[in-house]
Amino acid sequence: MITLSGVTVRIKGRALLEGTNLRLPPDTRYGLVGRNGTGKSTLLRLLAREIEPDQGTLSMPERLIVGSVAQEAPGGSTTPLDAVLAADAERASLIAERERGDDPMRIGEVEARLHEIGADAAPAKAARILKGLGFDDAAQARPLADFSGGWRMRVALGAVLFREPDLLLLDEPTNHLDLESAVWLTEHLKRYPRTLILVSHDRALLNEVPEQIIHLGQRRLTLYRGNYDAFAKKRAEQDALQAKEKEKIEARKAHLQSFVDRFRYKASKARQAQARLKMIEKLGEVELRPPEPEVVFKLPHPTPPSPPMITLEDAAVGYDGRPVLRKLNLRLDPDDRIALLGANGNGKSTLAKLLAGRLAPMDGEVVRARDLRVGFFAQHQIEDLDPTASALAHLRALRPDTREQAIRAELARFGLGAEKCETPAGQLSGGEKARLALCLLCVDAPQLLILDEPTNHLDIDSREALVEALAEFPGGVVIVSHDLQLLELTADRLWLVKDGRVERFDGDLEDYRRFLKDGTTPAPPQVTARATAGGAGAGPGPAPGSKNRPDPAARRQQLAPLRKELKQVERELDALERRKGELAATLADPATFAESTTAEAAGRELREVEQRLARLEERWLEVGDAIDALV
């Protein structure tokens, strides 16, 4: 059992946890959620005993083994397989002792212990983990120095998974993974036999793995049973109940206060007035949770060019004279929403750079629509921001002739308000840097967006805001992401990048996920002929997805106005609920009935408001059902 009692943690004088209590039963998988900057990573450091609470106590079993992914990626001449095996310190120590020992009795004890911990099976277990994380047999035997930092971080993740600590702490473990490895990791973590605390902004992962959700907000920790969707539903229900309770109490207070105001100066009623004042005091206040600030992305709405946007004919692309992809016969149209699938290293980012014009073809031909504007988001772009320059300065450099007020408004459309737009980029969070990078790529109102892992640093609300913005974007979209939900809500067509080629994946994302999990082979990829501006061309055709769904382009056109209407209906419902509360309080006040016309008018308006609420609630359900049917 892990127990936090009255724990307060401050970082640079700012309280991230304040007098919070939490009890975590063992052998349970937890998801830790909360807005960026609330202190999730700090809580993991506290549980890892890297920091101590400023106040209160943290109680954990003495022999509890805690494991997390090393901050420094392993390197040198060690192979990935050896690095993972070395994570089991006891096994490594016993093997070393066996090799140098000369005491037969001690060697016998060592052999017995090695057998007890399953040392002989360890290499096969380590190899399975590394394979799941994308290392084939040859890669497992190469020196770590040959790999990039992202791949070495996969080895660090593999090492802690191999070790299987009593308490496993994972902070955004999918950020260095591709979709294929993320699917494997999800299945692996679902079977984790001990205690797991997982920080992630990947909603699909949080729905699949955790059995309970720990929410960090307002410097408190709250435990909820179930996965992320269950947590979100419970929070919404709690907020609704609190709002109703507050409305009831405020109406009761108003009624009592009206008596006090009328009779407090009458001697015969003074005692009753005082009694009612005490009743008002006892009713207290119902504190509503402060609403989370709404995250909204406003992408430009350019006029798309006539199709096709881009046509590739027998194109090849690569680096230093060596092609990575060959025989590319592809076509991109303005209404295309394409997800690039395939393991890291197969060429997804290379294809994205070719489409964005960042790489020239080594062979064949790439034809672009005249004056085509492309917005390109690459994984490394947030690292290329000038850490000393503010968001305002970054955008002003691209729009030197634009008024500052207009620049500030543009940044605000990406969630960078007055304070954040003047903060140096080096002091922004990863999510804020990602929003800035997205804002910068929209400067020229691109007609085609190419997004390579755009959500790595975005929280759940920001990811959902990006999905909505892409749904309303009128141009083409090509996206690479390990976020299954983002791909499911955005992409209509799937292109598989594998073995130096790009082909249509004939199925939907659920088919692809099933294929990755159990090796079920989907229908063979097919190349569908499509007309091009210059004659006959070929390119991957649309993935059918669900047979009951409308045409992808038509589905997007239906979704955008429905989502817009849903938000408008919700705003109107909120306003009517507030007005209903005001009218109820008015009618609860005896003074209202001093004028019969006032009471009649209030009663008549209340009936009208209730009728409008009923109609709007019915429409809210209809629109919600329509959206669910389309997504």
Per-residue CA distances from 158 to 28, 146, 209, 304 (Å): 20, 17, 18, 45
pLDDT score recorded for residue 21: 93
**Tokens matching residue 115:** 């057998």
Q: Decide if 85 contacts 122 (C-beta within 8 A).
A: yes
pLDDT score recorded for residue 167: 95
The distance between the two most distant Cα atoms of the chain, rounded to a whole number of Å, is: 105
Helices 122-132 and 179-190: crossing angle, nearest 10°? Answer: 130
In the chain, ranges of CATH 3.40.50.300 domains: 2-232, 310-522
In whole angstroms, give the CA distance from residue 29 to residue 31.
Answer: 7
Matching residue, tokens 């001449």: 77
CA angle 473, 476, 479 (to 5 degrees): 95
In whole angstroms, give the CA distance from residue 313 to residue 195.
Answer: 53
Beta strand 363-368 with 310-319 is: antiparallel
SS3 8: strand
Q: Which of 580, 555, 579, 576 is nearest to 620 (CA)?
A: 576
What is residue 522's DSSP assignment? -
Element counts in the chain: helices (H) and strands (E): 20, 20
Task: Find the distance separating the first CA and the last CA of the chain, reported in whole Å.
Answer: 41
DSSP state string for 527-572: EEEEEETTEEEEEE------TTS--HHHHHHHHHHHHHHHHHHHHH
Q: What's the Rg (C-alpha) of the chain?
A: 30
Bridge partners, residue 313, by sequence:
365
In the chain, ranges of CATH 1.10.287 domains: 546-631
Beta strand 2-11 with 14-24 is: antiparallel
pLDDT score recorded for residue 352: 93
HSE toward the beta carbon, residue 519, CA cutoff 13 A: 1
Task: Write the single-letter amino acid at 173.
Answer: P
Give how far the C-alpha of residue 140 lies from the chain's centroid of Cα atoms, to the nearest Å.
30
Q: Which residues of 528-564 are buried (b: 16+ CB within 10 A; e: fewer)?
A: eebebeeeebbbbbbbebeeeeeebeebbebbeebbe
CATH 1.25.10 fits 546-631, yes or no: no
Matching residue, tokens 């360890």: 122
Q: Decide if 435 contacts 382 (C-beta within 8 A).
A: no
CATH 3.40.50.300 fits 2-232, yes or no: yes
In whole angstroms, give the CA distance from residue 382 to residue 405.
Answer: 24
Beta strand 493-498 with 337-341 is: parallel
Q: Which of 285, 297, 293, 257 is nearest to 273 (CA)?
A: 257
Spans of the chain, pLDDT less than 50: 520-550
pLDDT score recorded for residue 551: 55
In whole angstroms, give the CA distance from residue 485 to residue 496.
Answer: 18
CA angle 611, 613, 618 (to 5 degrees): 100
Contacts of 176 (CB under 8 A, 6+ apart): 150, 151, 153, 154, 157
Helices 404-412 and 391-398: crossing angle, nearest 10°? Answer: 120
What is residue 317's DSSP assignment? E
Q: Decide if 446 contacts 300 (C-beta within 8 A).
A: yes
Task: Write the single-letter amino acid at 305.
Answer: P
Q: Which of 174, 172, 179, 178 is nearest to 509 (CA)?
A: 179
In whole angstroms, give the CA distance from residue 84 to residue 125.
Answer: 10
What is residue 521's DSSP assignment? -
Q: Which of 74, 60, 66, 73 is nearest to 23 (CA)?
A: 60
Please return the burial class of 96, using the count of CB atoms within 10 Å of its CB with bins 0-12, 13-18 and 19+. Answer: exposed
Contacts of 32 (CB under 8 A, 6+ apart): 40, 43, 44, 197, 198, 199, 213, 214, 216
Q: Which of 261, 262, 260 is nearest to 276 (CA)?
A: 260
CATH of domain 310-522: 3.40.50.300
DSSP state string for 262-300: HHTT-GGGHHHHHHHHHHHHHH---PPPPPPPPP-----
